Amino acid sequence: MPHPLPSAHRPVEGEQVVPGSKSETNRALVLAALADGPSTLTGALESRDSALMIAALRRLGVTIDPVGETLVVRPPERFRGARDIDCGLAGTVMRFVPPIALLAEGTSSFVGDPHASERPMGPLLDGLRQLGATVTGDALPFTMTPPATPHGTANIDASSSSQFVSGLLLIGARLPTGLTLRHTGDRLPSRPHIDMTTSMLREVGVSVAELDDRTWQVSPGRIAARDLTIEPDLTNAAVFLAAAAVTGGSVTVPGWPSRSLQPGALILDIVERMGAQVTRGRRSATVTGVGPLAGLDVDLTTASELTPVVAALGALAEGRTTIRGVAHIRGHETDRIAALVAELRRLGAEAEETADGLTLVGAGELRPAVLHTYADHRMVHFAALLALRVPGIAVTDLECVSKTMPHFARDWASLVRA
Ligand SMILES: O=C(O)C1=C[C@@H](OP(=O)(O)O)[C@@H](O)[C@H](O)C1
Ligand SMILES: C=C(OP(=O)(O)O)C(=O)O
């Protein structure tokens, strides 16, 4: 049964509280699991990706308890290997948990959703082999047996995901000789997510040197337990802010950090370039639509998660929109380049895949359609945004939004109909 999405009968106005950052929550959980004592997380995301991370860490022996508004994480004496650890479709789980299992006693095996086996894993598994693990296969599902004493050097090609680098850096301090990690490929996407990893490591006392722009050296040592408050997820905020831009409304996201390493923050520059007005408060961001939007040519190498929302903005803006630098999103929850072009065409828009992104012509007549979501939460955001201006759009599946925002449909409906 298709799920209809609301259209906007008036400009979308209001304040939208956005749940905690997926990237920060899952890094904080991993660092707390590796720390030298109990940690407390406040504002952690509650969604499928964080639930999968919590379940995976528990299987390895970590104790995680909700206490009031917080999560209390207690590391085990020693990690223990576990069978059939479920990664779902979560990149952060499939790329961050196997390195922890390298530190465990005994073999671990990892499984995931049907499409998870198409997401790139080879370079991470190569890295784990270089650190001494025995690994079967090059994708999910796979089995890994840790070595008696892990080594400390790995050279991997992270051009298909920055998460390979982040996953290995996160455990670097717990390896007997630390870790020297080198990226061997010709491009490196999502650099801000690697900076988020190194910054969060430094905050817990880990020494990380960047020897050049592709080599990291993590010194061996303790990872300090800490109490951390998680920022709102700025990539998830993007769809709500974009709703104001495309309807001539005004949406405020409270809690917007004054400085953030989340690449989703780039949405403010993008909507401003397209013609919307952006107002930054001390701890908030507001987007106001002030007339027709203009298409743009944008390189999203650093913030590729924004591609579906920017593609929808482009389809409602005047002129051509070209998104570059995102070849690797063919390995995201789905092949997002192919999915976006297929769904734009289903609506009657002119859209083409390019070698490293897509190009489309906006502001044409769009027809109602049932859009496919490919189990991808951000394809729902894409459809929801278009539905505001194209009555009659529905999606084949809404459940996939629970990957990072289980209450998206409720929040979206109440904002649009407020
Ligand atoms: O480390 C992270 O938290 C993430 C890194 C990025 O992955 P890629 O480098 O695979 O794009 C991003 O797209 C993903 O949503 C989250
Ligand atoms: C690419 C994404 O997720 P993942 O962490 O599963 O890679 C995303 O959320 O857009």
Residue bearing the CA closest to ligand 2, atom 1 = 332
Which of 50, 333, 382 to mutate to test ligand 2, by most ligand atoms within 8 A of the CB atom?
A: 333
Ligand 2 centroid to Cα of residue 376, in Å, is 9
pLDDT band at 418 (very low <50, low <70, confident <90, very high): confident
Are 334 and 320 in a shared domain? yes
Note whether 293 and 324 are same-domain residues.
yes
**Claim to verify: residue 187 and residue 237 sit in the same structural domain:** no
Which whole number is the average pLDDT over 96-106? 98
- Whether 50 and 152 share a structural domain: yes
Given a cut of 80, whether residue 101 has pLDDT beyond it is: yes
* 228 found inside a domain: no
304 lines ligand 1 (CB under 6 A): yes
Rounded to the nearest angstrom, the gap between the alpha carbon of residue 230 and the centroid of all alpha carbons in its chain is 15
Residue type, 272: E
pLDDT beyond 90 at 364: no
CATH code for position 393 = 3.65.10.10
Is the pLDDT at 231 greater than 80, yes or no? yes
Q: Ligand 1: which residue has its CA nearest to atom 14?
A: 305
Q: Is 365 a catalytic residue?
A: no
Answer yes or no: is 62 within a domain.
yes
Residue 159 among known ligand-binding residues: no
Model pLDDT, residue 33: 98
Q: Is the CB of 90 under 6 A from ligand 2?
A: yes
Q: Which ligand is nearest to the CA of 189?
A: 1
Q: Is this model's pTM higher than 0.95 or not?
A: yes
Same domain for 308 and 384? yes
- Going by their DSSP bridges, the two strands 357-362 and 350-354 should be labelled as antiparallel
ipTM over 0.95: yes
Ligand in closest contact with the CA of 50: 2
Which of 87, 163, 201 gets mutated to test ligand 1 (max ligand atoms within 8 A of its CB)? 163
Are both 249 and 125 inside the same structural domain? Answer: no
Same domain, 57 and 181: yes
Taking all residues of the chain, what is their mean pLDDT, rounded to a whole number?
Answer: 97
Domain that holds residue 148: 22-216
Residue with the smallest CA separation from ligand 1 atom 12 is 305
How many domains does the chain contain in total? 2
Domain membership flag for residue 224: no
pLDDT at 363: 81
Domain end call among 164, 185, 216: 216
Which one of the listed residues 24, 231, 305, 333 is annotated catalytic? 305
Domain end point (choices 189, 216, 243)? 216
For residue 190 and ligand 1, the question of a CB distance below 6 A is answered with: yes
| One domain for residues 180 and 61 | yes
Are 352 and 409 contained in the same domain? yes
Q: How far is 362 from 383, CA to CA, in rounded Å?
A: 15
Q: Which of 66-70, 122-126, 369-373 has the lowest mean pLDDT?
A: 66-70
Residue owning the nearest CA to atom 6 of ligand 1:
190
For residue range 347-363, what is the model confidence (pLDDT) as tens digits? Answer: 999 999 999 999 999 98
| pLDDT tens profile 382-415 | 999 999 999 999 999 999 999 999 999 999 999 9
Of 153, 183, 216, the residue at which a domain comes to its end is: 216
The answer to whether 23 is annotated as binding is yes
Q: Is the CB of 23 under 6 A from ligand 1?
A: yes
Answer whether 92 contacts ligand 2 (Cβ < 6 A): yes
Q: How far is the CA of 291 from the centre of ligand 2 (A)?
A: 32
CA of 332 to the centre of ligand 1 (A): 9
Give, for ligand 1, the residue of 21, 22, 23, 334 to mutate: max count of ligand atoms closer than 8 Å to Cβ: 23
Residue at 222 is within a domain: no
pLDDT by residue (tens digit) across 322-348?
999 999 999 999 999 999 999 999 999
For the cut 80, the answer to whether the pLDDT of residue 269 exceeds it is: yes
Q: Are residues 256 and 188 in the same domain?
A: no
Cβ of residue 378 lying under 6 Å from some atom of ligand 2: yes
- Looking at the fold, whether 77 and 8 belong to one and the same domain comes out as no
According to DSSP, the residues that pair with 281 across neighbouring strands are: 284
What is the pLDDT at residue 28?
A: 98
Domain check: are 13 and 69 in the same one?
no
- State whether the beta carbon of 166 lies less than 6 angstroms from ligand 1: yes
Give a yes or no: residue 110 inside a domain.
yes
State the pLDDT confidence band at 1, using cuts at 50, 70 and 90: confident
**Mean pLDDT confidence for 50-71:** 97
pLDDT at 273: 98
**Does residue 26 line the site of ligand 2, with CB under 6 A?**
no
In a domain, 225, yes or no: no
